[in-house]
């Protein structure tokens, strides 16, 4: 079926009766009355619905899909169009279709002929799986892919599990970006032993000279509270308790998630909110013993502040 649209109000120069219309499929400009073709393969005059970026001179430049470190080829590879049509939009012949299918097969095979490409494909498919399980943003995933690429350049992958190294790179990216995910979360999502992830993480920090910031326990409060439905008033009180503990240097050397869980439990007791230690421990992935020990330290710190006032 020909899709037509009036492109000009001029009459046909041949019969002077019909109007000039455009065939959007073939790009022909012809007369609607006598069928006289005036031009072939006319250029599209409407708006172009595709991505553009700014070049060095501030002009619009053509751009395809954005590049990404989470692809084995960073999104720079080309593929043969899966539509079996030529440049004019006509269907391919049976012999040419067979040739194009074979070219597509060899094109896809040639993209992963290097061992590095195969390694990246396996690692980044694992990374995408972890992204869905842990609900992590794209910025953290890009950082994890960057760390893994650096590890591969240094030869740290040789003789080690790709999945374990990828999981440790993701944990390092979470630490670097301040995303509240601990080793236990990564362990459960990756289905890898915690000690293997921790060993690879220490290797990455040492060999790549990564500077890991200390996780802020205040960021963990919102995550724990959202899991078990704690009121906003209680969350604010827990944040205040953690700020006081930081000023008194009680939080130094303590696990941020356990400290946040203890602060939330203390805030629940203060505001008479019915949440047990077990509820908070399960939400924070820590033990009840940890909450009790941290609770004593936080309670003592608050008592010291009150007595000094």
Q: What is the pLDDT of residue 249?
A: 77
Is 194 within 8 Å of 187 (Cβ atoms)?
Answer: yes
Provide the 3-class DSSP secondary structure of residue 18.
Answer: coil
Task: Report d(CA 130, CA 132) in Å as an integer.
Answer: 5
115-207 and 217-308 share one fold:
yes
- Residue identified by tokens 């499929």 is 25
Q: What is the pLDDT of residue 224?
A: 87
Task: Report d(CA 248, CA 255) in Å as an integer.
Answer: 16
Is 197 within 8 Å of 168 (Cβ atoms)?
Answer: yes
Rounded alpha-carbon distances, angstroms, from residue 179 to 164, 195, 220: 19, 21, 9
Task: State the burial class of residue 142 (Cβ atoms within 10 Å of its Cβ: 0-12, 13-18, 19+).
Answer: middle
CB-side exposure of 244: number of CA atoms within 13 Å? 17
Q: Is the pTM of this model over 0.85?
A: no
Please check whether the domain covering 217-308 is classified as CATH 1.10.472.10: yes
Helices 115-134 and 162-177 pack at an angle, to 10 degrees, of 50
Pull the structure tokens for residue 192. Answer: 């890898």
- Residue identified by tokens 């992963």 is 112
Q: What is the pLDDT of residue 111?
A: 66
Topology at the third CATH level for domain 4-39: N-terminal domain of TfIIb (2.20.25)
Tens-digit pLDDT string for the chain (309 aa): 344 454 556 788 888 778 888 877 677 888 888 888 888 766 666 655 554 545 455 555 555 567 778 876 676 667 777 888 887 788 888 888 889 898 888 877 776 666 777 888 889 999 999 998 998 888 999 999 999 999 999 989 888 999 999 999 999 999 888 887 888 889 999 999 999 999 999 999 999 988 888 777 888 888 888 888 888 888 898 888 888 888 877 777 788 888 889 999 999 988 888 888 898 998 888 889 988 988 888 888 777 766 665
Cα dihedral 284/290/295/301 (nearest 10): -110
Indicate the domain borders of the chain.
Answer: 4-39, 115-207, 217-308
In CATH terms, 115-207 corresponds, of 3.90.950.20, 1.10.472.10, 3.30.56.10, 1.10.10.60, to 1.10.472.10
Helices 162-177 and 194-207 pack at an angle, to 10 degrees, of 70
- Output DSSP code: residue 77: -
- Residue identified by tokens 């590049």 is 67
């Amino acid at each position: 079926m020909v899709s037509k649209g009036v492109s000009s109000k001029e009459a046909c120069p041949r019969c002077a009766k019909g109007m000039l219309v455009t065939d959007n499929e073939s790009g022909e400009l012809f007369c609607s009355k006598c069928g006289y073709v005036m031009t072939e393969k006319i250029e599209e005059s409407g708006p172009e619905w595709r991505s553009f970026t700014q070049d060095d001179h501030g002009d619009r430049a053509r751009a395809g899909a954005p590049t990404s470190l989470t692809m084995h080829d960073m999104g720079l590879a080309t593929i043969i169009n899966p539509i079996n049509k030529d440049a004019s939009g006509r269907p391919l012949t049976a012999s040419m279709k067979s040739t194009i299918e074979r070219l597509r097969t060899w094109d896809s095979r040639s993209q992963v002929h290097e061992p590095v490409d195969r390694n990246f494909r396996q690692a980044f498919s694992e990374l995408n799986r972890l992204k869905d399980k842990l609900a992590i943003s794209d910025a953290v995933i890009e950082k994890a892919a960057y760390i893994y690429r650096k590890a591969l350049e240094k030869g740290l992958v040789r003789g080690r599990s790709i999945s374990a190294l990828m999981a440790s790179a993701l944990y390092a990216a979470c630490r670097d970006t301040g995303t509240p995910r601990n080793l236990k979360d990564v362990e459960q999502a990756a289905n890898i032993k915690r000690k293997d992830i921790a060993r690879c993480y220490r290797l990455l920090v040492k060999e790549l000279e990564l500077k890991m910031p200390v996780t802020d326990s205040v960021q963990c409060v919102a995550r724990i509270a959202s899991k078990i439905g704690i009121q906003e008033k209680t969350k604010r009180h827990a944040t205040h308790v953690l700020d006081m503990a930081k000023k008194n240097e009680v939080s130094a050397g303590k696990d941020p998630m356990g400290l946040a869980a203890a602060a939330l439990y203390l805030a629940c007791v203060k505001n008479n909110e019915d949440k047990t230690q077990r509820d908070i421990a399960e939400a924070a992935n820590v033990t009840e013993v940890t909450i009790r020990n941290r609770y004593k330290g936080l309670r003592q710190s608050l008592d010291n502040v009150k007595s000094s006032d």
